[in-house]
């Protein structure tokens, strides 16, 4: 089965509203010829609506970087799925390693957020990945297996049609280090195998699994050429329109 190639940009805590609109407009102009690659940009909460105004008539989708699982209430500083939908967002990153590392995200909270996102028509980009210590201890697959099982607890094959998985080795995020294409492919293969065990072979074959972790124009082709790598969740390189658009064009060229 030929899956979509999906390139998403996680802007993290960067860009004021005017800067975000400028970047979104540049990306839009530089990707106007893209027809086969799904493109998603994920600005900070404050810039979601202003960025949507720039991209709403384009092929670029809007995503958020996080959300809370309650509909509304006394949850100071949190953002609900309904609030995200009202900005024009149709994707949301859930369980990013920085959320796990700095803000106490757990398997249970990731699972709650995924279910709430799906109930509200948002497509989750679910992040999994191991630390350098865990890789050196040779427990990568054990760690990722726990994360996948926890994230997908109670989900159906139908749910998975609207879920993207992003494998992001924590040791490669923002460090300039990248898993070799072979290392990344090995983990992607195992993730797909685990999804097959949990939800069936057909579901696993249809699931988009992105790679994230210092993806840039120089390594994008070798990563995206791997059999089980269906796109990229891009960090630093998505903050400049030229490099992000170049990665998208590499993906477009590879999509036969």
Collect all residues with Cβ–Cβ distance below 8 Å to 241 and sequence separation of at least 6: 23, 26, 27, 29, 30
Instruction: Read off the pLDDT of residues 150-175 as tens digits, 9 standing for 90 and up.
Output: 999 999 999 999 999 999 999 888 77
Compute the distance between CA of residue 191 and CA of residue 168 in angstroms, rounded to an integer. 12
Compute the distance between CA of residue 15 and CA of residue 17 in angstroms, rounded to an integer. 6
Instruction: Read off the pLDDT of residues 19-72 as tens digits, 9 standing for 90 and up.
Output: 999 999 999 999 999 999 999 999 999 999 999 999 999 999 999 999 999 999
Q: Which residue has the tokens 């990563």?
A: 223
Compute the distance between CA of residue 204 and CA of residue 161 in angstroms, rounded to an integer. 10
pLDDT at 146 over 90: yes
Task: Kindly provide the b/e burial profile for residues 137-152, where b requires at least 16 CB atoms within 10 angstroms of the residue's own CB.
Answer: eeebbebbbebbebbb
6-254 to CATH, choices 3.20.20.70, 1.10.287.1080, 3.40.50.300, 3.40.50.11540: 3.20.20.70
Residue of 98, 130, 168, 249 marked active site: 168
Is residue 168 part of the annotated active site? The answer reads yes
Find residue 166's DSSP bridge partners: 127, 210
pLDDT at res. 205: 97
Per-chain mean pLDDT for the chain: 96
Residue 201: pLDDT band (50, 70, 90) is very high
Is residue 108 part of the annotated active site? The answer reads no
Q: 141: phi > 0 → left, psi -120 to 50 → alpha, else beta; which?
A: alpha
Residue of 96, 105, 130, 249 marked active site: 96
């Amino acid at each position: 089965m030929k899956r979509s190639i999906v390139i998403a940009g996680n802007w993290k805590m960067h860009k004021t509203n005017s800067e975000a609109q400028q970047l979104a407009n540049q990306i839009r102009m530089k990707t106007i010829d893209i027809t086969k690659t799904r493109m998603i940009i994920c600005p900070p909460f404050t810039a979601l609506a202003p960025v949507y105004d720039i991209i709403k008539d384009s092929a670029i989708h809007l995503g958020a970087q996080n959300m809370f699982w309650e509909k509304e209430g006394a949850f100071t500083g949190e953002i609900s799925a309904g609030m995200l939908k009202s900005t024009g967002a149709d994707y949301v990153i859930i369980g990013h390693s920085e959320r796990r590392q700095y803000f106490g995200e757990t398997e249970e909270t990731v699972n709650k957020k995924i279910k709430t996102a799906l109930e509200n028509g948002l497509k989750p980009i679910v992040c999994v990945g191991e630390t350098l210590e865990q890789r050196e201890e040779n427990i990568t697959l054990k760690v990722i297996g726990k994360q996948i099982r926890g994230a997908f607890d109670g989900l159906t094959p139908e749910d998975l049609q609207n879920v993207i998985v992003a494998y992001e080795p924590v040791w490669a995020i923002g460090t300039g280090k990248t898993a070799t294409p072979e290392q990344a492919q090995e983990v992607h293969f195992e993730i797909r195998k685990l999804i097959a065990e949990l939800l069936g072979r057909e579901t696993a074959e249809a699931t988009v699994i992105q790679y994230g972790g210092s993806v840039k124009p120089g390594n994008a082709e070798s990563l995206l050429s791997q059999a089980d790598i269906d796109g990229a969740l891009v960090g630093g390189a998505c903050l400049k329109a030229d490099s992000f658009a170049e990665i998208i064009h590499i993906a477009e060229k590879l999509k036969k």
